[in-house]
Amino acid sequence: MTQTPAPYIALSGVRKAYRIGGEMMPIFAGLDLAIPRGDFVAVMGPSGSGKSTLLNMLAGIDRPDAGTLSIGTSRLDQMGEAARSAWRAHNMGIVFQFYNLLPMLTAAENVELPLLLKPLSRKERRMRVEKVLDLVGLSGREKQYPAMMSGGQQQRIGIARAIVSDPGLLLCDEPTGDLDRKSADEVLDMLRFLNRELEKTIVMVTHDPQAALYARRTLHLDKGDFVEEKRAA
C-alpha cells in the first residue's frame, strides 16, 4: 500500500446553498477538492458558478453547510468565528480584484496592517514592510497614498499586504480583473515567483485564460462542480 500524503487543502462533500427569494439555491452539492502544498491553482468558470463562494470558504469568511473543509491541520468547517479570524491572521493572505487598500493609509501603512495583529516591535514591522515592498518592486513609494498609484501598483501593494505576515496560503479573487495586459502580466509574474521561489500555495480565481496559464493547473467550475482539469505545460 502506498502512502499518499494528506493534501494541504481538502474539501470533501461540501454543500453550500444560498436562500434567494425564499428558495434555497444550491451552489455546491457535494464538492470534493484536494490541493497539495506548493500548488498554484487557477479556478475558472462562468459567472455565478461559485468561484467566489469557494474562495470565501477557503478564506474562512464563509462556511460550508455540510461536508469537511481542512487546510493544513485546521478544520475550518468546525471553527468558530474568532478562531477563523485568528487563523486568517496567521495562515492566509488575500488579494482582491479591486485591491481594497485603505485610502487614508500610505502604501507602507496599508502593507503594515496585518502586522498590527502580531506581537512585533515597531522596528520589526518596518523591516518586514520594507522587505515585501522591495519584493513587489515598490520600495521608495512607502509614503504614497493609493489614490496616487496606478492599478498595477495598487495591486502590488495588495500582494505585499497579503504576504507581509508570511502566510503559507495566498487566495486571489480575479487579481488582474481590473488591470491592463502589461500590469496583469507583472502581477502574475509576481504570483508565479511567490509560488516557485517562496513556495506559497496559491488559489486564484480568474476569468482570463491568459492568467490561468501562469498557474500550474486550472480547475473549471461549472454548475457547482469541477468539469475538467487541465495541466499547464
Partner 1 sequence: MTLFDLARKNAWRKPLRTVLLMVSIAVAFLIYGLTASFLAGTQGAAGASDDLLGVTSAGGRTQPLPMAAMSRIAADPGVAAVGYVTRLRGFVDVEKNVVAISAADPDLLMAVNGKGLGLTPALVGAIGQGRDRVLVGRALAEAQGWSVGQRATITAFDTPREDGSRDWRFEIAGIFEGESAATDTYFMIARYDYVNAARARGKDTVDAFVVLPRMGVSPGELAAGIDTLFANSATPTRTQSEKQFLEAFLRQYADVGLIVNLVVGAAFVTLLMIVVNTMVFAVRERTFEIGVLKTLGFSRLGIMALILGETLFVFAVGGGIGLALAKLATILAGPTLGLVFSAPVLAKALVIIAVLGLATGALPAFNAMRTPIIKAFRTR
Ligand X SMILES: Nc1ncnc2c1ncn2[C@@H]1O[C@H](COP(=O)(O)OP(=O)(O)OP(=O)(O)O)[C@@H](O)[C@H]1O
Residue 145 to residues 38, 75, 105, 110, 139: CA-CA distances in angstroms?
A: 33, 38, 6, 9, 14
User: Which cell numbers hold the place of 51?
Assistant: 468561484
Please, what is the minimum distance in Å from the beta carbon of residue 3 to partner 1?
34
Give yes or no for residue 97 binding Mg ion (CB under 5 A). no
Q: Are 181 and 114 in contact (CB under 8 A)?
A: no
Within 13 Å and on the Cβ side, how many CA atoms surround 170?
Answer: 34
Q: Which is nearer to ligand X, 106 or 206 (CB)?
A: 206
Residue 10 to residues 43, 146, 175: CA-CA distances in angstroms?
A: 15, 36, 23
CA–CA distance, 119 with 93 (Å, rounded to integer)? 18
User: Which strands form 23-35's sheet, in the order they lie side by side?
Assistant: 23-35, 9-20, 66-71, 74-75
Residue in 10, 29, 66, 105 binding partner 1, rule: CB under 8 A: 105
Q: At 48, which amino acid appears?
A: G
Residue in 11, 40, 49, 154 binding ligand X, rule: CB under 6 A: 49
Please, what is the minimum distance in Å from the beta carbon of residue 159 to Mg ion?
19
Q: Which is nearer to partner 1, 25 or 117 (CB)?
A: 117
User: Which cell numbers hold the place of 28?
Assistant: 455546491
* 13-52: contacts with Mg ion (CB under 5 A): 52
Give the list of residues 6+ apart from residue 202 with CB closer than 8 angstroms, or none.
39, 40, 41, 169, 170, 171, 172, 191, 194, 195, 215
> Which one of Mg ion, ligand X, partner 1, none is in contact with 47 (Cβ closer than 5 to 8 A by kind)?
ligand X
x/- mask, ligand X, residues 5-34, rule CB under 6 A, reads -------------x-x------x-------
Q: Which is nearer to partner 1, 203 or 212 (CB)?
A: 203
> Which one of partner 1, Mg ion, ligand X, none is in contact with 105 (Cβ closer than 5 to 8 A by kind)?
partner 1
Q: Which is nearer to partner 1, 60 or 224 (CB)?
A: 60
Name the segment binding ligand X (CB under 6 A); options: 43-51, 80-88, 140-148, 183-191: 43-51
Give yes or no for residue 48 binding ligand X (CB under 6 A). yes
In this structure, the dihedral spanned by the alpha carbons of residues 183, 187, 188 and 193, taken in order and rounded to 10 degrees, is: 140
Please, what is the minimum distance in Å from the beta carbon of residue 48 to ligand X?
4
Residue in 9, 27, 58, 59 binding partner 1, rule: CB under 8 A: 59
Interacting residue ranges for Mg ion, rule: CB under 5 A = 52
